[in-house]
Amino acid sequence: MDHSLPAGRSESASARRRRVRRDDARRRILDASEALLVEDGFDAFSMRRLAERCGYTAPTIYHYFGDKLGLIDELLDARVRKLLARIRRVPRGDDPEKNLRALSEAFVRWGLQHPTHYTLLTGPRPPGSPEPEAAAELREIFEAPLRQIDEAGGLATSDMEEAKQALWVLLHGIISMRTSRPDHPWCPNLVQTALDAMLRGLLCAPGRANVGGRARGRNGS
């Protein structure tokens, strides 16, 4: 959510102080909300517990976010946008396989650096909570190189959904295991080795395009 001033308007010192206080309050409320959701889940989340955790009264929280669902929606959207900002910065070229690898590595790095954000985003959503707006763009960025590979006959499977789920399970597994067992002596090249193994199984060998498989997949037979 953008709280910046309209173009051409200056901000007085008193207005700036109010804005800083408001932004700080919103940030503290969102951070406390995230911590509670990760610790106890959506079912146990309450405005009373949140008020105790962040130090702001329930009326203040309602003033900033409307209601509990509005607060959760904004929290999820804010965290997805943080991930999206990281993914947008990944350099991409003309080789979709290299692009897929670079995006995957960036995703894993972000998940390992922000385990609380990651746990929140990959957990179940409360009933009635829509998908964050930024999620569609994030999904499109990840799916684009897979589609390019498929269109060139480079996928070993004719089922695009199967390919997407296989990649997701691999990346999620790496992040989950590394964050749940930080004491384990994980190999420094684990991410690259796992991606190598995944891509060898997911992609056709050079010169062996899966034209027939793509046609069957698209025709549904």
pLDDT digits (tens, 9 = 90+) for 2-11: 555 555 566 7
The pair of structure tokens assigned to 171 is 């990346």
- Return phi, psi of residue 81, to 5°: -65, -35
Long-range contacts of 210-215 (CB under 8 A, 24+ apart): 210/153, 210/154, 210/155, 210/156, 210/157, 210/158, 211/153, 213/153, 213/155, 213/156, 213/157, 213/158, 214/150, 214/151, 214/153, 214/155, 214/158
**Domain ranges for the chain:** 11-66, 79-219
Q: Does domain 11-66 have CATH number 3.30.70.1150?
A: no
- pLDDT at residue 220 above 50? no
Give the per-residue pLDDT at 169: 94
- pLDDT at residue 208 above 60? no
Q: Do 11-66 and 79-219 fold alike per CATH?
A: no
Give the per-residue pLDDT at 119: 86
What CATH number belongs to 79-219? 1.10.357.10
More confident residue, 134 or 129: 134
